[in-house]
Amino acid sequence: MEKRRILPPEETEAQKKHIAWMRANNDCYLAENGCRRGAFVLTFGCQQNEADSEKLAGLCEEMGYAIVDEPADAELIVVNTCAIREHAEQKALSIVGQYKHLKTKNPALIIAVCGCMMAQEHRRNDIKFRYPYVDFILGPSSLHRFPQLLCEKLEKGRRLYCPEEAEYLVAEGLPIRRESNYRAWVSIMYGCNNFCSYCIVPYVRGRERSREMGEIVKEVRDLVAHGYRDITLLGQNVNSYAKDSDYGYDFADLLAELDTIEGDYVLRFMTSHPKDASRKLIDVMAESKHIAHQFHLPMQSGSDAILKAMNRRYDTEKYLGIVDYMRERMPDVTLTSDIIVGFPGETEVDFEGTLAMLRRVRFDMLYSFIYSPRKGTPAAEMEQVPQTVKNARFDRLLALQNEIGKEKNQALVGRTLRVLCDGVSKNNDALYSGRTEGNKIAFFEGAPNDTGCFVDFVAERADAYALYGKKI
């Protein structure tokens, strides 16, 4: 087995040549008003996709584009898609459809579609046949080839379809244009080996491959030195970090190493898979200086039969064992989870099992989803639960979680919490918002120079989704 999965430096060099070509030929593509050409990057999906988009935007900038906020101002539009549920796919297709008129107005506009949808044959065909004005497509494992495809498109003018990788590798050294100057994503691994029976990710993101610890430490150290306050390590299953390699260390070792970096910052990670969440990892968290006492541990279902059909490889007893140990070591831990409602074959008794687990564990917050069949996955072939039943269960789940979430948040009223301020709230411009160490949203009266800084906050009231209080 190949134990190190790093993209060969020749490939990285080849991409640098394409970037240089773009810069050299910048003039030919310069907008008429003399401004730099604009690039607009639109992202669907999870944090991994957001992190990928920061790389796509970084590559665009390296190639001479200015990142713009409106597609109408762009001469390059990149749509980074998600395939996790039908709704996400339909949204992306609808947006791509809307861009047709921009292309009619400006025939020089280049439209690229990338991301997880583009690693599926039927979706590639959708773009090929139904959206002929899309200039090129590439899947998430070929992201580093973006400069090459853009050059080929501009030089040769034909439509391009980048084949997905046969061998999945880690591309280091890509430029990153970060959205924030105090919160950052750091991908530590790519892909997934778990093949949960409902999930498309292993098919579109390929096999697990991990970055070397040294590269990650360098990146995090650099972020902390540049004033980043909140750093989230990303992977589909961070608990299996480095298991694909012979590095000789694991995720807990990585966290312990990162925790030694001096500075005023908080470290988080997502997502954890219960089958691999170790006591060693929890011990490292409990004893650390910088790691947030926050754990996102997707449970998916509270029925052992359904967990088995989902191919999750843990049962409710194992799940509770992790939760209990976590709370023993970190009584203040914030615990969140993902739940799928209406997985094929889910009976009323199975669903009651999920509600019972919610009452037992008392999550701070849940991300709940109605099961969406994904073409090519085993669960899509199983007997489906009727939509009306799925919807009704979803509503019951939300109602219960709203009660629990509210009670959990209300328990924090009167407590002083450290909050990283995100500036004026998007929903209420009279208030500032921020996130607690547990990643809960806090609203308060702030000041412009609080943005990007930690403030001490006392919660005065709470609902299921947020805390309201004042800065002290």
Looking at 5, 85, 205, 293, which residue binds ligand SAH (CB under 6 A)? 85
Asked if residue 244 lies in contact with residue 208, where contact means CB atoms within 8 angstroms, the answer is: yes
* Calpha distance 457→368 (Å, rounded): 29
CA distances in angstroms from 124 to 89, 212, 422, 462, listed in the order given:
12, 32, 38, 46
Binding site for ligand F3S (CB under 6 A): 45-46, 48-49, 82-84, 116, 200-201, 204-205
Residue 202 interacting partner from ligand SAH, ligand SF4, ligand F3S, none (CB closer than 5 to 8 Å by kind): ligand SF4
By the rule CB under 6 A, 293 interacts with ligand SF4: no
Residue 354 interacting partner from ligand SF4, ligand F3S, ligand SAH, none (CB closer than 5 to 8 Å by kind): none
Q: Please report how close the Cβ of residue 237 comes to ligand SF4 at its closest, in angstroms.
A: 5
Of the pair 29, 369, the CB lying nearest ligand SAH is at 369
Q: Which of 469, 470, 471 is CA-nearest to residue 453? A: 471
Of the pair 196, 459, the CB lying nearest ligand SAH is at 196
C-alpha torsion angle, residues 408, 409, 412, 413 (rounded to 10): -130
By the rule CB under 6 A, 197 interacts with ligand SAH: no
Q: Please report how close the Cβ of residue 201 comes to ligand SAH at its closest, in angstroms.
A: 6
Looking at 144, 145, 273, 393, which residue binds ligand SF4 (CB under 6 A)? 273
Looking at 19, 39, 78, 199, which residue binds ligand SAH (CB under 6 A)? 199
Q: Which 3 state secondary structure label does DSSP give 4?
A: coil
By the rule CB under 6 A, 209 interacts with ligand SF4: no
Residues 229-258: x where in contact with ligand SF4 by CB under 6 A, - otherwise, as a string = -------xx---------------------
Of the pair 90, 428, the CB lying nearest ligand SAH is at 90
Angle CA(331)–CA(337)–CA(343) in degrees, nearest 5?
Answer: 145
Q: Which 3 state secondary structure label does DSSP give 363?
A: coil
Could you tell me which stretch among 122-130, 366-374, 429-437, 440-448 binds ligand SAH (CB under 6 A)? 366-374
Of the pair 63, 297, the CB lying nearest ligand SAH is at 297
Helix (H) or strand (E) holding 296: strand 294-296
Residue 59 interacting partner from ligand SF4, ligand F3S, ligand SAH, none (CB closer than 5 to 8 Å by kind): none
Cβ burial of 219 (10 Å; 0-12, 13-18, 19+) is buried
Cβ–Cβ contacts within 10 Å for residue 161, how many?
A: 16
Token duo for residue 231: 């750093």
Site for ligand SAH in 200-219 (CB under 6 A): 201
Cβ-proximal residues to 381 (8 Å cutoff; 6+ apart), any chain: none
Start-to-end Cα distance in the chain: 56
By the rule CB under 6 A, 440 interacts with ligand SAH: no
Of the pair 197, 316, the CB lying nearest ligand F3S is at 197
Q: Please report how close the Cβ of residue 366 comes to ligand SF4 at its closest, in angstroms.
A: 15
Residue 195 interacting partner from ligand SAH, ligand SF4, ligand F3S, none (CB closer than 5 to 8 Å by kind): ligand SF4
By the rule CB under 6 A, 338 interacts with ligand SAH: yes
Of the pair 150, 307, the CB lying nearest ligand SF4 is at 307
- Dihedral (CA of 311, 314, 320, 323) sign: negative
* Calpha distance 410→433 (Å, rounded): 18
| 466-471 vs 454-462, strand pairing mode | antiparallel
By the rule CB under 6 A, 373 interacts with ligand SF4: no
The amino acid that residue 221 corresponds to is R
Q: Which 3 state secondary structure label does DSSP give 259?
A: helix
By the rule CB under 6 A, 82 interacts with ligand SF4: no
Residues 282-321: x where in contact with ligand SAH by CB under 6 A, - otherwise, as a string = ----------------x-x---------------------
Q: Which of 64, 196, 205, 191 is CA-nearest to residue 140? A: 205
- Dihedral (CA of 413, 417, 422, 424) sign: positive
**Three-state secondary structure readout of 180-245:** CCCEEEEECEECCCCCCCCCCHHHHHCCCEECCHHHHHHHHHHHHHCCCCEEEEECCCHHHCCCCC
Could you tell me which stretch among 58-66, 188-196, 313-321, 453-461 binds ligand SF4 (CB under 6 A)? 188-196
Residue at shortest CB range from ligand F3S: 45
Looking at 273, 293, 435, 440, which residue binds ligand SAH (CB under 6 A)? 273
Give residues in contact with ligand SAH (CB under 6 A). 84-85, 198-199, 201, 236-237, 271, 273, 298, 300, 338, 340, 369, 371-372, 374
Give residues in contact with ligand SF4 (CB under 6 A). 192, 194-196, 199, 201-202, 236-237, 273
